[in-house]
Structure 1
Amino acid sequence: MQTITRVYDTYGQARYVVADLETSGIKSSDINLIANKYICDETARIEEPSAAGPSAGVGAALGGTAGLLAGLGIIAIPGLGPVVAAGALAATAIGAAAGAVTGGVVGALVSAGVPEEEAHVYCEAVRRGGTLVSVRTADDNVAFVQQIMNRHRPIDPIERRSAYRGQGWTRFDPAARPYRPSEAEIQRLRTPYQN
């Protein structure tokens, strides 16, 4: 078994990735998603206005989808703050922090097979408004999962690390606060989409 991890600049991209994975036969229980809660709330406000008001937040952002997205919850992950998350990766990150295991969410990603330097970039991208999607899959299914995930324009961790370092960043700081929607939008303008 291997874990394939990608980060997308927008929550909307990640929703399409999850839907694509599920309709391609990937079980919801094998998919993980971690997104900045503030960005999800803003996505809901823009995409799905309703009379329910601000409390509709996450539910509206999820739309009527079944599977993984229907099971998302709001949790606090140390270093990322309140996030919308589902899957074993989020549970591992919370458990690692609760047990005072070094690394928290970075450690959970490294344990899942993500190189440490890349894990720092992925966590920073989520803090800045991105959405992480990972899939646990059999070795003979890796190329299929990668093909699905790559067609939705994930960030390039090498290019993103370079862009972040150009802004003075060195590594993920669990004490830094998550970006709000306006800050995330400015970040996206500074760091254009990459393939």
Structure 2
Amino acid sequence: MTTVTGLFDDYQDASDAVSELEAIGVPRDDISIVANNSDNWYRQDETSEAGEDAAAGAGLGALVGGAGGLLTGLGIMAIPGVGPVVAAGWLAATAVGAVGGAVVGGAAGGIVGALTESGVSERDAHVYAEGVRRGGSLVTANVDDRLTGEAERILRGERSVNLDERRSAYESGGWTGFDATAEPYDDIEAERDRVRRTTPL
């Protein structure tokens, strides 16, 4: 088994990637998604077409994942340093230390710890975590070795963030690594960051 991870600036692209992973044969319980929810685009406490579309679009529904076979459905959680996220799957359960669907205190290592435990390098894990903090969506999958090439094409293709370029962009602004004790970005800060990255000098 190999862990393949992709960061997306747009939730819909992340959602489409999940569907494509399922289509090539990656089991649902081997896929995890963590998407920033600082602007409250997904609200768990209300039934609406938008909420239903978000749940259906993720292609995950209720999943069994994480340590001890935790049941983790698409829902709102809080990750230290990241803030509110819409999440489902084994990575989300590990990152927030969920037990029976409830969040208990801080995570055991938080999102960086969850990623490194799954085989992602610590250097890359910091960029992935910061990407979610700044408004992105992270998809991680444990895939059979025979599917690794296709999974990498899906999660590291043109719709996803180029990790080296994003790391350089963060570092040019003085960033040195993800800080779980830092204040999470709100939706205004996330949008300002996006504009800074996409506006030519």
Scaled by the length of structure 1, what TM-score is found? 0.81
After superposition, the Cα gap between the structure-2 partners of 1:16 and 1:152, relative to the gap in structure 1 and judged at 3 Å, is farther
Task: Name the structure 1 match of 2:97.
Answer: 95
Aligned residues: 184
Question: Cα deviation per residue 1:98-119 (whole Å; 9 max; x = unaligned)?
Answer: 5877632101101111110110
Unaligned runs of 5+ in 1: 46-52
Question: Cα deviation per residue 1:3-22 (whole Å; 9 max; x = unaligned)?
Answer: 10111111121111112222
Unaligned runs of 5+ in 2: 63-72
Task: Provide the C-alpha distance between the structure 2 equivalents of 1:20 and 1:114, rounded to a whole number of angstroms.
Answer: 21
Task: Name the structure 2 match of 1:33.
Answer: 33
Q: How does 1:131-170 map to 2 (within 5 A)?
A: 131-170=137-176
After superposition, the Cα gap between the structure-2 partners of 1:15 and 1:187, relative to the gap in structure 1 and judged at 3 Å, is same
After superposition, the Cα gap between the structure-2 partners of 1:168 and 1:54, relative to the gap in structure 1 and judged at 3 Å, is farther
- The answer on 1:68 being equivalent to 2:60 is yes
Contact 2:15–2:59 (Cα < 8 Å) also in 1: no
Task: Provide the C-alpha distance between the structure 1 equivalents of 2:110 and 2:141, rounded to a whole number of angstroms.
Answer: 19
Contact 2:127–2:178 (Cα < 8 Å) also in 1: yes
- Structure 1 residues 88-97 or 156-165, which shifts more? 88-97
SS in structure 2 at match of 1:135: strand
After superposition, the Cα gap between the structure-2 partners of 1:19 and 1:142, relative to the gap in structure 1 and judged at 3 Å, is same
SS in structure 2 at match of 1:26: coil
- The answer on 1:113 being equivalent to 2:115 is no
After superposition, the Cα gap between the structure-2 partners of 1:90 and 1:63, relative to the gap in structure 1 and judged at 3 Å, is closer
Q: How does 1:13-92 map to 2 (within 5 A)?
A: 13-39=13-39, 41-42=40-41, 56=48, 59-60=51-52, 62=54, 64-65=56-57, 67-68=59-60, 71-92=73-94
Task: Name the structure 2 match of 1:10.
Answer: 10
After superposition, the Cα gap between the structure-2 partners of 1:25 and 1:140, relative to the gap in structure 1 and judged at 3 Å, is closer
Task: Give the structure with the higher percent helix.
Answer: 1
Task: Give the structure with the higher percent strand.
Answer: 2
